[in-house]
Structure 1
Amino acid sequence: MSRRKIIVSAIVVGLIVLFFALDLDKQFTIASLKANRQTLLELYASHRLATVGGFLAIYIAQTALSLPGATILSLAAGALFGAVMGTVYAVTGATLGATAAFLVTRYLFHETVQRKFGQRLAGINRELETSGLNYLLFLRLVPLFPFFLINLGAGLTRLPLRTFVIGTAIGIIPGGFVYCNAGASLATIEQAGDVASPRVIGAFALLGLFSLLPVLSAKAKARQKP
């Protein structure tokens, strides 16, 4: 690994260690959000641009470093900015942060992984280059796949950056709206599980399957050809 990559790795690891060393993860709870909501609303009323900018910076950093707290941040977006604008800010922050994680992973490890496992990944790379958007939308829409693992895993493949950004931005809108809308009614929420009901998860899974229909249809037609 080059000196530049070692420095980047050290910075990332250092920031993650600092986050937990300062017990910042304890601030990303529903109880903490409820306790500080009025203060945050007053801050937003007095300094709108600064509050939005600060929120985006926190969301981007949290996602880029794969830290816990995305759910709380989405609820906070709804509680502070309302369901619609909260979704806009949450999706923007999550997309930019995910892109940063994707790029850092690709910069640090893509070359090594492709050199060592390139032949084994050849089929996956071909699929992602041709139908990457459909697969990524499926992964983003179905809430069974950890958000941060998709960011890191995609960076190791040959998925085009543009496809990653578009697929992420579109794919997280439904989930972002659900959580931001719930955050707008924060008083009724006791835990994150109150938002992601089985019916909601089922609806997302159905949307994810719809995103795969073009790929499945193309494969079925290919098999029918002599």
Structure 2
Amino acid sequence: MEFENTSLLAESAGLDVSTEKGHKLNYSSSSSLKSKSTTAKIMSTLSSTLKKQEQKRLDTELKSRVKPHHQKQPMSAAERSATKKSLVILAAIFITSLAAMCYVYMICPELNESEKQHMKIPRDIQDAKMLAKVLDRYKDMYYFEVMFGVVVAYIFLQTFAIPGSLFLSILLGFLYRFPIALFLICFCSALGATLCYCLSNLVGRRLIRHFWPKKISEWSKHVEKHRDSLFNYMLFLRMTPILPNWFINLAAPVIGVPLYTFTLGTFCGVAPPSVIAIQAGKTLQKMSSSSDAFSWTSMGVLTMCACLSLVPGLLKNKLKKKIQ
């Protein structure tokens, strides 16, 4: 087409268009087409590169704006201020509770010097033995005072996630008959864990989310998925050492476990391990370490109870799937 147009223009201008010049025009037209094709390819490549760069820029900007909630992020000034206030409240509650412990110690019957040195929270089985001897001496005359003192100490340990409640469980098994000891352990465990739950909900939520963001996110999804069977899962966790009790108490309010389910699950869930501790308390003076409380037989029974606690929840989920 270009060649014909060029020829017409040449003829209208009075020029003689020879065959040689026609060949030149053909070559010029071919070169022009090649040039246009090369330019189109360059423009296409450039456009593709620009699109990729723009997409990369948008992705980077999106990642910077929408940060994954499971990554640890630095606290803002407002969050740091709120955390400081929470820690002050926690310190005040702890000091008040410690003062209550001191008051319990003050109302104890008058002890001689050799007995006073054993009036402390037991840290090992030897401390528990010596404390048991002192309390057993005064238990008949000061029945409720001794019981009140052990209960307050137990709740204090559970509330502030301080280790040592196992020795108090063994001690209660030594001091009291089985039904009373079992009720006291379940009551103290449930009340102390509930207070720890409330403290975590009040002052520890930000800290827990800050230090364990990924785990909290995963467990929150797990809780939501099994919300209908949370009571059974709480029983299972209390009967098994998969997670430490102090961590369960602190994390439960953050991952969305309801308080009622948490308290009732704790009260019922600690019963099987408490039976073992109470039985160990009956032979406290013969024990050489806390590991003597647990035999392979008792651990097998405990494992069986833990597995059975999951059965209702599993059946409920299976029935729900069939209905759906």
Could you tell me which runs of 5 or more consecutive residues in structure 2 were left unpaired when the two chains were aligned: 1-78, 98-118
Measured in 1, the distance between the counterparts of 2:148 and 2:198 equals 22
The letter for the 2-side match of 1:57 is V
Measured in 1, the distance between the counterparts of 2:127 and 2:204 equals 37
The letter for the 2-side match of 1:143 is P
Q: Is the 8 A contact 2:121 2:164 kept in 1?
A: no
Work out whether 1:87 is the aligned partner of 2:185.
no
Measured in 1, the distance between the counterparts of 2:254 and 2:300 equals 29
Q: Which has the larger radius of gyration?
A: 2
Please list, as runs of the form range in 1=range in 2, the aligned pairs for 1:15-54 lying within 5 A after superposition.
Answer: 27-54=122-149
Measured in 1, the distance between the counterparts of 2:163 and 2:179 equals 24
CA RMSD of aligned residues (A): 3.2
User: Structure 1 stretch 117-126 or stretch 57-66: which is displaced more?
Assistant: 117-126
Relative to 1, partners in 2 of residues 1:34 and 1:164: Cα closer, same or farther, differing over 3 Å?
same
Please list, as runs of the form range in 1=range in 2, the aligned pairs for 1:162-201 lying within 5 A after superposition.
Answer: 162-201=260-299
Measured in 2, the distance between the counterparts of 1:122 and 1:191 equals 38
Relative to 1, partners in 2 of residues 1:174 and 1:146: Cα closer, same or farther, differing over 3 Å?
same
Measured in 1, the distance between the counterparts of 2:197 and 2:156 equals 13
TM-score, length of structure 1 as denominator length: 0.83
The letter for the 1-side match of 2:307 is L
Q: Displacement of 1:46 after TM fit?
A: 1.4
Q: Is the 8 A contact 1:75 1:183 kept in 2?
A: yes
Q: Displacement of 1:57 after TM fit?
A: 0.4
Match of 1:20 in 2: none
Relative to 1, partners in 2 of residues 1:111 and 1:36: Cα closer, same or farther, differing over 3 Å?
closer
Larger relative contact order (CA 8 Å, sep ≥ 6): 1
Measured in 1, the distance between the counterparts of 2:191 and 2:299 equals 24
Please list, as runs of the form range in 1=range in 2, the aligned pairs for 1:34-113 lying within 5 A after superposition.
Answer: 34-110=129-205, 113=209
Could you tell me which runs of 5 or more consecutive residues in structure 1 were left unpaired when the two chains were aligned: 17-23
Measured in 2, the distance between the counterparts of 1:6 and 1:187 equals 41
Q: Is the 8 A contact 1:44 1:51 kept in 2?
A: yes
Match of 1:206 among 304, 317, 324: 304
Match of 1:9 in 2: 90
* Count of paired positions: 221
Relative to 1, partners in 2 of residues 1:83 and 1:28: Cα closer, same or farther, differing over 3 Å?
farther
Deviations 1:26-69 (A, max 9, x none): 73321122223232112211111111111110000011111111
Work out whether 1:133 is the aligned partner of 2:214.
no
Q: Is the 8 A contact 1:64 1:99 kept in 2?
A: yes
3-state SS of paired residue (2:187): helix
Measured in 2, the distance between the counterparts of 1:29 and 1:12 equals 27
Q: Displacement of 1:109 after TM fit?
A: 3.4
The letter for the 1-side match of 2:122 is Q
Deviations 1:94-139 (A, max 9, x none): 111111111111122336749x778755532423532210110111
TM-score, length of structure 2 as denominator length: 0.60
The letter for the 1-side match of 2:182 is T
3-state SS of paired residue (1:27): coil
User: Structure 1 stretch 166-175 or stretch 78-87: which is displaced more?
Assistant: 78-87
Identity %: 22
The letter for the 2-side match of 1:78 is G
3-state SS of paired residue (1:156): coil
Deviation above 6 Å: which 4+ runs of structure 1? Answer: 12-16, 116-119
Relative to 1, partners in 2 of residues 1:65 and 1:25: Cα closer, same or farther, differing over 3 Å?
farther
Relative to 1, partners in 2 of residues 1:106 and 1:46: Cα closer, same or farther, differing over 3 Å?
same
Measured in 1, the distance between the counterparts of 2:120 and 2:295 equals 24
